[in-house]
Every structure is written in C-alpha cells, then in structure tokens.
Amino acid sequence: STFAVLPAVDGDPFCRELDTAGIPARLVRGDGPVRVNLAITEPDGTTTKLNNPGPTVSAGTLDALRDALVALADRSAWIVLAGSLPPGAPAHWYADLVASLSARTQVAVDTSDEPLRALARAFDGDRSRAPHLMKPNGHELGALLGLDGDALEADPIAVAHAARGLISRGVGAVLATLGGSGAVLVTPEGQWHAAPPPTEVVSTVGAGDSSLFGYLLGDLRGLAPAPRLALAVAYGSAAAGLPGTTIPQPTDVRTDLVTVRPLPDSTGV
C-alpha cells in the first residue's frame, strides 16, 4: 500500500482528498495550509498550470519530516521524494534525505530545477548518495545535463544516451517520461523504449506521477525491466485519458497496448 508523508494539519482539504482516495497518511504539523495548484485543461488537451508556492517551511517542520521518513524507511520497500520544494527549504534537502534513507530502503526522486541539480552534485561527489531511481521528464533531463529538452522528447535513443551517464555516476535506474512519445528506462543491464497506447488526452495532470507508480508497482511484483516499463507507460497513459486529477484504476490500464523495444547502447557501457 502507499503511505503519504506530508506537512499538514487535521482537516486540511488535501487530507480529506487522501481519505476519500483511501490513502493513509502520516501528518507532520505544517506551517500553513497545503498549497493549491490549479490546472486548466482545454478541449484539445492543452494544460495550463497555476502553481501556488505554498507557505514558507520552517527548519522544525523539515526536521520532523526527515525523522518521519527515517522512521518509516526500515519497513518500506520504496520511499518516493517527489515534487518541488517549498519556500524556505534548502535546495539540497532531497539530496540530504537520499543520503539518510538509501542505506535503509530504496529511494526514488522525481523533482526538477535546483533540487535536481543539487542532487546530481551530491552523487557526483559521492556515488553512495545516488538514488535507486530517478524519474525526470525529457525537459528536466535536458536541463540537468545541458541538452535540448524538446529534442530529447522526440529522440528516445538520445534520452537513453543521456540517462546512461547518470547510471555511470551511481544512479540505480532512470525512468525518463516523454509525454506522447512514451518513456525510456535505463538500468545497468540495458535500455528500453515504450510507446504508449492510442490515448485521447483529457488531462496531463498526474500522468508522470502515475507512470512512476506503475514502475514501482511492477518492481514490487518482481517484473523484469521491460514489463516494468510497460506498466509505467500504461498507467501514465491511463492518467492522461482521465479528467482532472482522477487516479487511474487497474481497469483503466492497458499494458497489452504498450509496445516495448530494446534500444542500442552507443556508449559502450
């Protein structure tokens, strides 16, 4: 089961949403209400996001969140560190968490901008601080490595080549989501591209998160890398075909319509 750890107070509307979805949570008293993000989706699927920065987080709240995650780590198969950091949080906070958690459990990171760069700087200096999984999209991978994100989104082989560099620096696996172009998975054993099933895009909100969920579900089921990737893309596509923030259900997921192919490794690694 999935367990949410977040700063909030009892009665926050977001906590009620978690209850409605049946997701148990460990609440750390926050410094204000959970931020509200608005996504405006047009009939053609174009999505405009209006993201509230949220309240400034205190050092005490960050310490409490870290302690809660460390306490849960020994009985967790994975811990996912996802999203942007709130105002007041140091950019290296995720990097420090990976260092605290990775000896206890597997850690996946899905973030962007300076927190992503700070994470990369940390494991450049110490491979033991590399996460077990990174899940950038094409633009985030490009920004991290100084490459053209638009070009990466359209070129799975270039994505695999770029992600292979992260593997060589200690990252366990890279799942790069590419929107309508599917996703690329790179591990020390190989690299694969998955093309999504035909999907009428209704809302892209949560599609990347759903892809990450699908991948981790496949890992928990003991699937090999290629079917893990297929499940990731199937869940992401299912999310894109649903309105708003609707969470895909297993009946929405069509792994049989996902095509996975191995990619050539041009790095010689």
Which segments of the chain have a pLDDT < 70? 45, 266-269
CATH number of 132-269: 3.40.1190.20
Are 5 and 25 in contact by the 8 Å Cβ rule? The answer is yes
Residue of 89, 92, 73 lying closest to 26 (CA atoms): 73
Tokens of 76: 């967790």
Neighbours of 112 (CB within 10 A): 16
Tokens of 10: 């009892």
Positions annotated as catalytic residues are 209
pLDDT digits over 200-225, tens only? Answer: 988 888 999 999 999 999 999 999 99
pLDDT digits over 11-57, tens only? Answer: 899 999 999 989 999 999 989 999 888 878 777 767 788 888 889 99
